[in-house]
Structure 1
Amino acid sequence: MLKIIVRRTLLWSNICSIAALLLSVFLPCVNPGQWWPAGFSGFFFPFLFLLCLLYTAIWAWRKNRKYGWMNIIAILCAMPAALTTWGVHIFRENIISKQTNSGQFTLMTYNTSSMGLERYVTNKDKEAAIYNTIASGSPDILCMQEFYTNDKPGNEQHLQRITSTGNYPYHYFTRDKTHWESWHYGIVLFSRYPIITASAIPSVKSSTGSGSTFLQADIAINGDTIRVFNVHLISYMFKGEDYENMKAPKGTGLVYKMRRTFPTRSSQALQLSALVAASPYPVIVCGDFNDTPVSFTYKTISRNLQDAFLKTGTGWGRTLSYLSPSLRIDYILAQPAVNIHGSKVFHNRPSEHFPVMACLSLKKN
């Protein structure tokens, strides 16, 4: 009797896991702005995938092939999503240093969380981690989201400091929000290559000052021109108390906050995808999408683009330092006209986001 109960419990829990896995794979094809439950599905994919692998091993151990094959079929259906979640280049040498006279250049994307500014006071440990990472990577093109700088003498003049210490003669700052005349917030791009033209393309209204616009820059590199989009899609705007109030009434709960962002982020993804398609130059898209690889956001933006981490990396590629080891939400994507030679995620605690850097070059006709 006990064996029957155990087998039936295993079977029905496995069936539920398979159903949840398939939903997490296929629901991100649906625009969550039109049907909000689709926005949650991709968060659980990595764990459901691993759970079905575990059930496969359990049924093999119990010598029940029929139920084992049930999991194998589900896993095969989920493989495309798995290949956007994990990097599989275990034996590839992942090099981000440039080769001399090769036309290669490096690009880093980094959500700086207001350069360590917390309640109008700078956290010096976080600020130091940011500058140490920039110095360590020394990217030719540095794209930063949630950037903060202050024009007032004696305050944190990050724009001038990075321009000077990083040897960046060119930059463009969106200045999406200003406090007290001298406190500026937005998205910024620093470059050692000439910026031909740059603009802030209106997207949505964001209270953070980073995410209200897309930064578009045309950059001259080795006789060619590339177009870089530096973006920060709308975030959930979680606060400390939100993590303690997941079961709060509608209007204050964590789930409700997430649900409210889905239509806006979906529209941003569609807008950005259209901008990429209309570009006359090879495109690189980078930034904080605030969504996982198994999501409508990622599927929409990454269509016909290469993911630098997936092309060269291994493992999770985690870019958010808290909540879950599966959260890769910061990306570097490039059109097929761009070669991706290597990539790296800098695990630079105590920063909230881990920056991503890639070594790239333009294909020659």
Structure 2
Amino acid sequence: MWLILNIVVVFWMLIGVLCLQVPPSEFWPAGFVAFSLPVPLVLNFLFLIYWALRRSWLLVLPFAGLILGWTYYARLFAINLGQEIPKEAKTLQVLSFNTHIFNAYDGKQRTASGVSEEMVDWIATHPADVFCLQEFYNNRNTGGYNTAKRIGVRHNKEMYFSIGEFGRKYGDIGIAIFSKHPIIDKGAIHFTKKESINRGVWADIVLEGDTIRIYAVHLQSMSIRAADIENTYSAIGNEESFKKESRNLARRLKRGFIARAVQVEQLLEHVRKSPYPVIVCGDFNDIPFSYTYNQLAAELQNSFVQAGNGIGSTYNGILPFLRIDNQFHSEGLKAYNYETHYEMGLSDHFPISATYVLEPKPEEER
């Protein structure tokens, strides 16, 4: 019986890996199968321990699954100890943070009174060279909540703010990039014709004579509220209610899978044309076991995998262990000191940061 279950788990794992390659925009059920991949990965590891404790030759089966799926295990848990940044290297520290509009919305009432000054000040005084801020909120008409001024102007940082939603009375919302190094070019990637905070923003930053392109990205939200999760749990035992709540969750997930599959292709199309090394960071609203993440990881290196430790969860909400915020980088750069800042818990996301070393070009090594 245990052998059969182990075979089922390995088969499940293989199907999940295959579904990572399938665009949910073309076959949406693949998104759900890929989403479930952490379950067989964990179960396979438990089977490895089980067969090892029984000293059974059957541990060959989960061990083979472990070897074949090692890349995906690395997405679950990272170990990178003792990394040291080379002396005299050109470095760039990047902070990425979904600020949740600095908590400026009080329920359905748009008001600046709830803006967290502590969050604004934490960002403004962070030592990073570049800030990539999603769901950035700025109210130019209220001095205390003019976050662009408090983060950028006061600390001598250049800024590019791409506005997705705006209002003269309530302020602007979008994605902002702040840099202590010169910004020589910038632009936005609009995923739809309709104005939205879901977009990509890029800026070319000069670092000691070299240029790096930074992308700040906010992909389609999962649109799952804490109340949706709670309602589904509370409906267990009531078949009709449970079906209703489960279908509601499934519809929301399906829409997100499809939208992000299209958006990541638009993003990568732009990234491929970059004449400079790139850093792509932001709120991707997808876990590492998704088509979105898989497409990015196929062309770029993930900074958490390269330089992080532990699970690295970034979602500060009812669902634990979700890493939906990421930083990726291209060749020519190497990541060090990746960190999730759990000390800043005022948003529904935790900030993440990493330091990048610009690797010398072949002619510079001579």
Residue number in structure 2 paired with 1:158: 147
Which of 262, 266, 270 lines up with 1:267 in the alignment? 262
* Structure 2: gaps (5+ residues): 233-241, 362-366
Q: 1:27, CA displacement in angstroms?
A: 1.1
Q: Distance in 1 between matches of 2:116 and 2:316?
A: 13
Contact 1:342 1:358 in 2 (8 A): yes
Residue number in structure 1 paired with 2:25: 33
Residue number in structure 1 paired with 2:215: 229
Contact 1:143 1:287 in 2 (8 A): yes
Q: 1:189, CA displacement in angstroms?
A: 0.4
Residue number in structure 2 paired with 1:141: 130
Q: Distance in 2 between matches of 1:206 and 1:46?
A: 35
The answer to whether structure 1 residue 297 and structure 2 residue 287 are counterparts is: no
The answer to whether structure 1 residue 359 and structure 2 residue 355 are counterparts is: yes
Change (3 A) 1:123 1:303: farther
Which of 145, 152, 158 lines up with 1:170 in the alignment? 158
State how many pairs are aligned.
348
Q: Distance in 1 between matches of 2:246 and 2:354?
A: 40
Q: Distance in 2 between matches of 1:155 and 1:249?
A: 45
Residue number in structure 1 paired with 2:98: 111
The answer to whether structure 1 residue 286 and structure 2 residue 281 are counterparts is: yes
Residue number in structure 1 paired with 2:49: 57
Q: Distance in 2 between matches of 1:265 and 1:171?
A: 27
> Structure 2 length as normaliser, TM-score?
0.86
Residue number in structure 1 paired with 2:225: 239
Deviations 1:301-340 (A, max 9, x none): 2333222221111111111123444311111111111132
Q: 1:214, CA displacement in angstroms?
A: 1.3
Contact 2:217 2:282 in 1 (8 A): yes
Residue number in structure 2 paired with 1:132: 122
Q: Any idea what SS the aligned residue of 1:87 has?
A: coil
Q: Any idea what SS the aligned residue of 1:315 has?
A: coil
Q: 1:70, CA displacement in angstroms?
A: 2.0
Residue number in structure 1 paired with 2:175: 187
Residue number in structure 2 paired with 1:81: 72
Q: Any idea what SS the aligned residue of 1:285 has?
A: strand
Q: Distance in 1 between matches of 2:290 and 2:123?
A: 29
Change (3 A) 1:252 1:206: farther
Q: Distance in 1 between matches of 2:42 and 2:333?
A: 33
Residue number in structure 1 paired with 2:89: 102
Deviations 1:40-59 (A, max 9, x none): 23433334322211122222
Contact 1:309 1:317 in 2 (8 A): yes
Residue number in structure 2 paired with 1:69: 60
Residue number in structure 2 paired with 1:4: none
Contact 1:245 1:254 in 2 (8 A): no
Contact 2:220 2:260 in 1 (8 A): yes
* Structure 1: gaps (5+ residues): 1-7
Q: 1:121, CA displacement in angstroms?
A: 4.7
> Structure 1 length as normaliser, TM-score?
0.86
Contact 1:27 1:41 in 2 (8 A): yes
The answer to whether structure 1 residue 316 and structure 2 residue 304 are counterparts is: no
Q: 1:269, CA displacement in angstroms?
A: 0.7
Deviations 1:187-235 (A, max 9, x none): 000111111111122113678x421x21121111111111111110111
Residue number in structure 2 paired with 1:331: 326
Q: Distance in 2 between matches of 1:117 and 1:124?
A: 5
Contact 1:337 1:362 in 2 (8 A): yes
Change (3 A) 1:123 1:37: farther
Q: 1:155, CA displacement in angstroms?
A: 5.8
Change (3 A) 1:237 1:126: farther
Change (3 A) 1:236 1:123: farther
AA in 2 matched with 1:92: G
Residue number in structure 1 paired with 2:235: none
Q: Distance in 1 between matches of 2:256 and 2:79?
A: 31
AA in 2 matched with 1:148: Y
Deviations 1:158-215 (A, max 9, x none): 11111144x14310101111135442000000111111111122113678x421x211
AA in 1 matched with 2:205: I
